[in-house]
Amino acid sequence: MLKALNVCLEVEGPQDSENGTLHLLREVSFTVPPAHLVAIVGPSGCGKTTLLKVITGIQQQTSGELLWDGRDLSDEEDLHPGDLGYVPQFSVAYDLLTVEESIASAMVLRTQLSKTDDFIPALDHILEVTGLTHLSDRQVKVLSGGQKRRLGLALELVTDPCLLLCDEVTSGLDPKSENEITNLLRVLSRGHPKRVVVNVTHSLASLDAYDSVMVMYQGVLTYHGPPKAMMHYFAADHPEEVYLKLTERKAGDWHESWEKHRDTYYQSHGFDGAKAVTKESEAKRGSGPSKTSVREERVVANPEHAEPSEEHDLPPVETPSMMTQLFELLRRRWTIFRRDKAQVWLHLAMLLGFPLLVVIFALDGIKPLSALSARQDDNIQQEYQQMKQHQEQQLKAGGLVSGLIMLQVVLVTLMASNNAAREIASERLILEREKLGGLHPFAYIGSKVIFLGMFVLAQSLWMGFFVDMVTGGLPGDLITKLVLLVLSSAAMTSVCMGISAMSKTPEKATILCIYLVGFQLPLSGAVLTLPNWLENWVQPLVVAFWSWSGSLSSMRSTAFYDAVKQVTSTDLISPAIAGFVLFVHVLVGLGMTFVGVQRSQWDS
């Protein structure tokens, strides 16, 4: 049984609001018996979705109690993630996965069925009960609106939840699809002896399929009872007239009126006890859910499908280990990546094209690099002309070496930004749903670190090896330069992943990451030197400076170091210090990622 006792939700409002507070919910109280389907209706902005999010736990009420079988829902330990299902209005599945893959992945992430012989039967059962069996091999991107709503329900059924909350799952559908989804919700409400199914809806066309209806108005509950009794209560001839009737009185007056009549309605329609159910459901269910009755209703909900097979009873839900979730997330992410042909070709183009771009700038400078293979102090002392020529070669070689190192670093950070900027922000709503279902944040972050880490290693190592091979070997220790190149890529990847996790939209994350990469070159000190008072504040934040500076410092034992010093007035940092600072950047980015992943962003 789901029960609310004087639930209120207050947020900071405009200055002209009451005491600067906006009341989204006011003293909402109701009781919903088990095996029950209830609709929450009302005008736009009346608090329907807000009430649903409070029940879900996405938003916390400021006062009042929400109880499930006597347990307080505000206490996260009292309701297991597997007991709660939340189906948002929008699609929460990956377009490039098939229907079957989407449901199977949800089962691996939320249950331990993948390790048992029950996995395939349970998967088939969910496909069958939601009418998706014939669509199992289709990718999500080709599904219709109604089919995506069915998939959203299927993703939540993997744990056989006793409390299923749906937000506008019938909105925007044609009448036939709306009726089918409503009938499916009714079937699901009978599929578990304790299950309560709540659906927020704008549509009043299919109210007769619901056991009861809650009518919200300006944050207060004005009615909760059977659909037919609703018409009598509001003295309306048609459901659409109810909204017009609401405007004839103040919300407070409607609330007081319902408070007076609530107990009478609850007693009349069997909402006042833990064992109370609608007469229809009690007659069908008896002491428990009948497989025959459930199967019969399922056929009505899906008349286009054949008679379903024998009911499959799901075993008790146990949350999988963090490592199981991590490996499933990795497998799923790799599947999505390899099916996204545009992304595959873009990564290949960057992997092969960016090193070639560096080499093009290096071709004309290979001779000056070779000419500085040894110092020429004796010749400089003998001939002024040779000294002048040598100085010119030093400037050219120094500028070339500095430029090539910086170009590699900037291109590597650009690839890192492209890899990570949208990685979390683009799947934010899917992440929120999976967090609600018990996904461990460390499993999610770990999968991103491993997946993006493969790009970090491939892109930075190939960049360093290829350029060094074609140019005949840039000065300095190759291993040191490769390590710094990898660390610079890892640092930018980590920071951009953190930005992605903190951003509300992928577009915002992309713009911020582009700006971050754009300022790497001018703020690094490789081209222009910042004022001394500003340099000490800016350089610690610039990834490119540390990789570039550390790589140039690795040339101290070569003839090129003097040449490099001729063209830069910025103090060069030792490779060890540069590597340490880049590692700190990685840790900062991971910290941002953890905070962003933990923070709820359902409203993004």
Instruction: Output the pLDDT for position 137.
Output: 95
Confidence band for 298, pLDDT divided at 50, 70 and 90: very low
Contacts with 346 (C-beta within 8 Å, 6 or more apart), sequence order: 418
Nearest-angstrom CA–CA distance, 564 and 560: 6
d(CA 83, CA 576): 52
pTM: 0.84
Q: If you average pLDDT over every residue of the chain, what do you get?
A: 83
Cβ atoms of 528 and 568 within 8 Å: the answer is no
253-257 contacts at long range (C-beta below 8 A, 24 or more positions apart):
254/217, 254/220, 254/222, 255/26, 255/27, 255/220, 255/221, 255/222, 257/222
| Most trustworthy range by pLDDT among 286-295, 359-368, 413-422, 543-552 | 413-422
Residue 591 has pLDDT above 90, yes or no: yes
Nearest to 165 by CA among 74, 36, 277: 36
**What pLDDT, on a 0 to 100 scale, did the predictor assign at position 271?**
73
pLDDT for the residue 90:
79
Distances in Å between the Cα of 86 and the Cα atoms of 32, 82, 83, 185 are 17, 11, 10, 13
Residue 422's pLDDT band, with cuts at 50, 70 and 90, is very high
How far apart CA 142 and CA 461 sit, in angstroms, is: 39
What is the helix (H) or strand (E) element at residue 284, kind and residue range?
A: helix 279-285
pLDDT digits (tens, 9 = 90+) for 471-494: 777 777 889 999 999 999 999 999
pLDDT at 5 over 80: yes
Average pLDDT over residues 119-123: 93
SS3 label, residue 60: coil
pLDDT per residue over 364-407, tens digit each? 655 555 555 544 555 544 555 554 555 555 556 666 777 788 88
Task: Lowest mean pLDDT of 115-129, 188-202, 242-256, 392-406, name the range.
Answer: 392-406
Q: What is the pLDDT of residues 38-67, one digit of tens each?
A: 999 998 889 999 999 999 888 888 999 998
Q: Which CATH superfamily groups domain 2-301? A: P-loop containing nucleotide triphosphate hydrolases (3.40.50.300)
Predicted confidence (pLDDT) at residue 468 exceeds the cutoff of 90:
no
Length reported for the chain: 604
Give the per-residue pLDDT at 74: 74
**Domain boundaries of the chain, sorted by first residue:** 2-301, 348-598
Closest among 259, 230, 253 to 243, alpha carbons compared: 230
pLDDT at 359: 84
Q: Is the pLDDT higher at 371 or at 115?
A: 115
Annotate 355-417 with DSSP letters as a single string. Answer: HHHHHHHHGGGHHHHHHTSS--HHHHHH-HHHHHHHHHHHHHHHHHHHHHHHHHHHHHHHHHH
